[in-house]
Copies of this chain bind each other. A is one copy, B any other.
Amino acid sequence: MSGAEQSGHLPLAEGAEFDLVRVLLFEWGTRARGIGDDAAVLDVPAGERLVASTDASVEGVHFRRDWLSPEEIGGRAAAAALSDLAAMAATPLGMLLALGLPGAWREDVREIARGVGAMAERCGCPIVGGNLSRATELSLTVTVLGGTRRPLRRSGARPGDTLYVTGRLGGPGAALRALQSGSAPSRADMLRFAAPVPRLREARWLAERGAHAAVDISDGLLADAAHVARASAVTLEIDLAGVPRVDQVSPQQAATSGEEYELLVAMPAAVDVPAFVSRFGCDLTAIGRVKPFDGESVRVDGRPAPRQGHDHFG
């Protein structure tokens, strides 16, 4: 327990449930902090606002056991939650993991924890608390807390803004199509599907350069563009051919691929794209513009975009 003590955890009681918690804490080492009280205690830096989001990854809904390793499931769940902090241009302060754990997954706890821990470390986000419960399906509900002086909201897009998207789209959708048809995705597509990267530093860089609005592309570019358009009461015009995409994916597929965790950002002025690319090793592409609301939320090449997006309850 020396690692645990270094991290300021409280001593844990005996029993199988706490043994599982000990497995998590051993795997996380110093990435977990102050575990074991009724609640975590954190400090939001002076002058910053608190940003909070909770995001669930559920077996059979968000992932399938035969598609992803336990480590990937853990990393992806953490990344999906942290991506919401990126969309707000917030710096991570802490993460809480509520794990619903069926008996059939108990042996995989260490590997799940490894994936969560690696993503937490990559994003500089300590793991400060959580909850462990029996369940009939595996679920990871990740709550992330962050701080920022000026949150970047969906509602800030203004006519005249240019729309930029980070990265290249279409990989997760292509991987999903391959998996669903029983064929093997390309290595690159599978990496995009299994190991997405929250664009935290990229978002803060863009926010510092005056970004008006942002959203992370979890439902697909067109669906999330519609969220920004509605929230900002504007029309978003997207040039489909300009949407950056991975190999062997059509512009339409790229524009509707979900779980990208790239960012769509409305910028009031042109961005120094080469500086962004050289700093982050990540594409940044102008794909359209913000117009006064003309009766349509999103236009693609001038035509109204069809309704898009995943709907778990449709």
| Residues in A lying within 8 Å of B, measured CB to CB | 10-17, 19-20, 36-44, 49-56, 58, 60-62, 83-85, 87-88, 90, 93-94, 96-98, 100-101, 106, 128-137, 139, 141, 143-146, 151, 153-155, 214-216, 223, 226-227, 230-231, 307, 309, 311-314
In the complex, the answer to whether B16 meets A307 with C-beta atoms within 8 Å is: no
Closest to A219 in B: B13
Asked if A10 contacts B137 (CB within 8 A), the reply is no
Considering residues A106, A134, A216, which has the most beta carbons from chain B within 10 angstroms of its beta carbon?
A134
Closest 8 CB pairs of A and B: A39-B53, A38-B87, A16-B313, A10-B231, A141-B141, A11-B230, A54-B96, A38-B84
Q: Are B215 and A87 in contact (CB under 8 A)?
A: no
Does A54 contact B129, Cβ atoms closer than 8 Å? Answer: yes
Q: Hey, which chain B residues are within 8 Å of A216, CB to CB? A: 38
Contact A39 B141, CB 8 Å, known A20-B313, A128-B52, A131-B56: no
Cα distance A62–B134 when bound, in Å?
9
Contact call B52/A134, Cβ cutoff below 8 A: no
- Asked if A54 and B231 sit within 8 Å, CB to CB, the answer is no
Question: Assuming the A-B contacts A88-B37, A151-B41, A230-B10, are A15 and B311 also in contact, with contact meaning beta carbons closer than 8 angstroms in the complex?
Answer: yes
Question: Which of B61, B135, B311 is A139 in contact with, Cβ under 8 Å?
Answer: B135
A19 CA to B313 CA, complexed, in Å: 9
Q: CA–CA, A202 to B87, complex, Å?
A: 38
Known contacts being A130-B54, A143-B143, is A223 close to B13, with CB within 8 Å? Answer: yes
Known contacts A15-B309, A38-B87, A146-B39: A100-B130 contact under CB 8 Å? no
Contact A17 B313 (CB under 8 A): yes
A309 touches B13 (CB 8 A): yes
B131 lies within 8 A of A55 (CB): yes
